């Protein structure tokens, strides 16, 4: 059985690397078919993830990444899909559209990522997400990233993820409530003198 995870993440590049690098290790560059699928709530995030995964896989010869999202011309997307990309990143609506048209084949998929699942729920995409997941063959690894875990997201974990492992990523930044802040306004000839003395003395 492929491992499944649902993660309470920090957002940003570290999160993208956290799911990209392990999945890339199991990717077959010789197989010209989608093996990794990443669902993202917005075009901006889809493009960001696609660019990051392109960078992560730049030394893997023959690996192609395509981003599919609304507002982009279909002929551009179809041309990219005909090249046999191993990695597909997209928004739920456009991915579902390609599945219905028969232009996206997920039969060889080995890794699925739901990035910012709570945002997809908030934006009304969760039914599209469930429809897409229902068409993916068993035996793939699933990673679900969500900053919150409302009931609709938990329903997805129960329906599509077998014995998922929960991972909570805590921020490494420690707040220091005992730190106070002050500033001084310095005018005219005193500016040069004060910038030289203040950092070392801590006071005027």
pLDDT digits (tens, 9 = 90+) for 83-115: 999 999 999 999 999 999 999 999 999 999 999
In this structure, what CATH number is given to the domain that contains residue 80? 3.40.50.300
- What are phi and psi for residue 203, nearest 5 degrees? -160, 170
Token pair in block for residue 34: 């989608």
- Domain count of the fold of the chain: 1
Residue 76 in any domain: the answer is yes
Percent over 70 (pLDDT), the chain: 73
Q: Is residue 34 part of a domain?
A: yes
pLDDT at 183: 56
Cβ–Cβ < 8 Å for 53, 23: no
pLDDT at 190 over 70: no
Alpha helices by DSSP H, 57-141? 74-82, 92-101, 117-122, 126-134
Asked if residue 152 belongs to a domain, the reply is yes
Assigned domain for 147 exists: yes
- Has residue 191 been placed in a domain? no
- In this prediction, residues 21-42 reach a mean pLDDT of 96
On the question of pLDDT at 118 being above 50, the answer is yes
201 belongs to a structural domain: no
Q: Which pLDDT score, from 0 to 100, does residue 119 have?
A: 94
pLDDT of res. 96: 97
Decide if 200 is inside a domain.
no
- Which single residue is written with the structure tokens 């974990």? 157
Give yes or no for residue 172 having a pLDDT over 60: no
- In this prediction, residues 9-13 reach a mean pLDDT of 57
Using CB atoms within 10 Å of the CB of residue 171, give its burial: 0 to 12 exposed, 13 to 18 middle, 19+ buried.
exposed
Full residue range of the structural domain in which residue 140 is found: 4-172
Assigned domain for 197 exists = no
* Sequence-distant (≥ 6) Cβ neighbours of residue 80 within 8 angstroms: 64, 66
Neighbours of 64 (CB within 10 A): 17
């Amino acid at each position: 059985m492929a491992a499944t995870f649902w993660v309470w993440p920090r957002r940003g590049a570290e999160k993208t690397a956290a799911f990209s690098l392990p999945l890339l290790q199991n990717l077959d560059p010789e197989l010209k078919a989608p093996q990794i699928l990443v669902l993202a709530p917005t075009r901006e995030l889809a493009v960001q993830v696609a660019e990051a995964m392109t960078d992560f896989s730049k030394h893997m010869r023959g690996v192609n990444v395509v981003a599919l999202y609304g507002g982009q011309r279909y002929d551009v997307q179809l041309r990219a899909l005909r090249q046999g990309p191993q990695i597909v990143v997209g928004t739920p609506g456009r991915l579902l559209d390609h599945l219905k048209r028969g232009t996206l084949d997920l039969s060889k998929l080995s890794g699925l990522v739901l990035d910012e699942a709570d945002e997809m729920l908030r934006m009304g995409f969760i039914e599209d997400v469930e429809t897409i997941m229902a068409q993916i063959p068993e035996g793939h690894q699933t990673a679900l990233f969500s900053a919150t875990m409302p009931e609709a997201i938990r329903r997805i974990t129960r329906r599509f993820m077998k014995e998922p492992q929960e991972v909570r990523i805590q921020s490494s930044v420690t707040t220091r409530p005992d730190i106070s802040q002050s500033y001084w306004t310095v005018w005219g000839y005193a500016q040069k003198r004060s910038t030289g003395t203040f950092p070392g003395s801590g006071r005027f």
